[in-house]
Structure 1
Amino acid sequence: MIEMPPLQFAQVNGIRMGFYEAGPKSDAPPVILCHGWPEIAFSWRHQIKALGEAGIRVIAPDQRGYGATDAPEPVEAYDLEHLTGDLVGLLDHLKIDKAIFVGHDWGGFVVWQMALRHQGRVAGVVGVNTPHFPRAPIDPIELFRKRFGDSMYIVQFQNPAREPDKIFGSRVEQTFDAFMRKPLPRKEAVPPEPATAGVGASSKSNLAFPQMIAAYDAKYDPRTPILSAEEKKVFVDTFRRTGFTGGINWYRNWTRNWERAAELDHTVRVPALMIMAENDAVLPPSATEGMEKLVPDLEKYLVRDSGHWTQQEKPEEVSAKLIEWRRKRFG
């Protein structure tokens, strides 16, 4: 039986946002859980339950373009100004002064940006797999193209014909079958597991995820699924309804975000926790090296034997670490 609190809605920043909430409203600062791609608030189901039962107020939105939340048409509506503005709007709606923002994968980029753009609303930040990076010296899409070639998925996502959106959208079950699995043990030579945020990838693979999904057949996949049939159905039903374009539009703002961050101070001036996954092929622990220069008040924690979907692969460990760090730093 899957346990989720009731879905609620808020008008924020020009859109209607769906979110879930648990734990006592009196608890402060609350914890806001921000998902990645291709995910939804449901990815945090284990943490919502654990934090709520521990007496911590916890809120998990479906972010812009995902799930129960609106998906505006213009691509520019998915830049980091909008994505962080949505979270500020959610705080305003709930009459919350400051929160701890926890982000996995793309949600990680958003929560680190919250600390840069809206520091007055941020008590602390937790990155799950996604480090805080300095601003790239050149357009990141050019960096990806130079390093991985034109078939690398983030480069493909820039395609105005939206071919990747169509590939995933016509193979929703295949997409989640392929992505939501534990990596094989390191000693076996296999392609890297799909992961999504792309910076600091250690693999020699060209990360051509759309083509990988198009050719994928679960019966030949030796990796262990992370999701039960019931859990997978939640993701599949949701993305059959919404498609993938909303989430992929986040990637289509990579250059815009880079251009518009030129004047930002990239130092994170709030307490921070970096949860790393030992076997994440695209966001490996090595990608966090040097973070301390930009995040002076930083604790690092390594989850062993986990691939990219850490809060779903190792839910008890991730929840316990969030509760422990929250209590230690905020009482």
Structure 2
Amino acid sequence: MDSSLYKDLTVSRGIKYHYYYSAPQDEKPTLLLCHGFPNSSRDWKQQVAYFKGEGYGLLVPDMIGYAGTDAPEDTALYAHSLISKDIIDLLDAEKVEKVIGVGHDWGSLVVSRLANYFPDRFLGFAFLAVGYLPPRAKNTFMEDMAKAKAAFGYEPLGYQVFFMEPDAADNIEAHWDSFVSHMWAKDHSVLRTHFAPLGVFKPHLLADVKHELAEFVTPEDLAYYKETIGSGKKINGGLQWYRVFGKGIDLEDNKGIAPGSIPVTKPVFFGAADKDYVCLAPLHTQITGGFCSNLTIKHFDAGHWVLAERPSEVNQELLAWIKDL
């Protein structure tokens, strides 16, 4: 991604954001691309190249806690309503009016909250791997994991308990190569056997278990992420997103969402990753379908990192959906 197109903006609450911006051509809309854990705006490099070539505008932030954007230590500053307003500040700074929100992983949560708080600013919403996430009204995390284990034989989100631990950043940094090889393993089933289930990932990490990396992970990617999130406890910013749930900060924050804005009536695209053993495609398809009335679903033969593993297919399906808006 062209470094000359990156900017910095201190949003209204004092957080500095680092973001990529390319203006649209021929009055086409702008795509807002929101990444997840443990990534950065670089996660979208394939989509940026493709949609820039098609004349679409692109606004791609390093989300709070990552890369060039501030990473405050106060977990409360990662409340979803605050992040949503940050994103609107970025759009306002670039005078962007016609917007399509696209999210992956935790980025899907941000796009979900933008749909709840600021639906009139968007033409539609797209979700990859992780679908629309309705706001929680109560904490049922452990209950949900028990139900998932009964249904699927393991807890798809069990790793999050480790990510919420106070020393998680230290352990990840000390065993960085093992961490990376689990996150971006070539074998999709590694997430099922060595990562997702409750209590499984931490001992594998501390034992420095390593796996063959996926082909889409380049040496340049590895060097970039080592520098931006793999040293100096920088990964701690990304882990704050999990602690928002662990501390129940989202429960109080969600009280500001009007009940009538939880169902999404604007057009929605969901790209399901059928080999994702963490964010299970059937569950996310069911949840998204239950709340989004104008829904297009496409299935991809890919794991969690579908936007990097199947970039051409994802780009083409997204473009077709956007043209139909």
Counterpart residue type for residue 238 of structure 1: T
Q: Unaligned regions of 5+ residues in structure 2, if any?
A: 150-154
How much does 1:20 deviate? 1.2
Match of 1:264 in 2: 258
For 1:259 and 1:32, the matched residues in 2 are separated by: 27
Mapping of residues 1-331 of structure 1, within 5 Å = 6-13=5-12, 14-22=14-22, 24=24, 27-136=27-136, 138-143=138-143, 146=146, 152-159=158-165, 162-184=166-188, 192=192, 205-206=197-198, 208-218=200-210, 221-222=211-212, 224-239=214-229, 240=231, 243-254=234-245, 255-262=248-255, 264-265=258-259, 266-287=262-283, 288-304=285-301, 306-329=302-325
Q: Which moved more, 1:226-235 or 1:166-175?
A: 166-175
Match of 1:200 in 2: none
How much does 1:22 deviate? 3.2
The structure in which a higher percent of residues are helix is 2
* CA spacing shift, 1:237–1:173, aligned 2, 3 Å: farther
The CA RMSD measured in Å over matched residues stands at 2.5
* CA spacing shift, 1:6–1:209, aligned 2, 3 Å: farther
For 2:25 and 2:176, the matched residues in 1 are separated by: 37
Q: Give the ranges of 4+ consecutive aligned residues of structure 1 lying more than 6 Å apart after TM superposition.
A: none
How many residues in Structure 1 have an aligned counterpart in Structure 2? 310
How much does 1:226 deviate? 2.9
For 1:140 and 1:92, the matched residues in 2 are separated by: 36
Q: TM-score, normalised by structure 1?
A: 0.85
Q: Which moved more, 1:168-177 or 1:243-252?
A: 168-177
Q: In 1, are the aligned partners of 2:9 and 2:17 still within 8 Å (CA)?
A: yes
Counterpart residue type for residue 5 of structure 2: P
User: Deviations 1:129-148 (Å, cap 9, x if unpaired)?
Assistant: 11224444640434356557
* CA spacing shift, 1:311–1:51, aligned 2, 3 Å: same
For 2:47 and 2:307, the matched residues in 1 are separated by: 8
How much does 1:264 deviate? 3.4
Identity %: 24
* CA spacing shift, 1:226–1:216, aligned 2, 3 Å: farther
Q: Unaligned regions of 5+ residues in structure 1, if any?
A: 196-202
* CA spacing shift, 1:105–1:5, aligned 2, 3 Å: farther
For 1:242 and 1:283, the matched residues in 2 are separated by: 26
* CA spacing shift, 1:158–1:242, aligned 2, 3 Å: closer
Q: TM-score, normalised by structure 2?
A: 0.86
For 1:19 and 1:25, the matched residues in 2 are separated by: 19
Counterpart residue type for residue 305 of structure 2: W
For 1:145 and 1:310, the matched residues in 2 are separated by: 24
* CA spacing shift, 1:227–1:27, aligned 2, 3 Å: farther
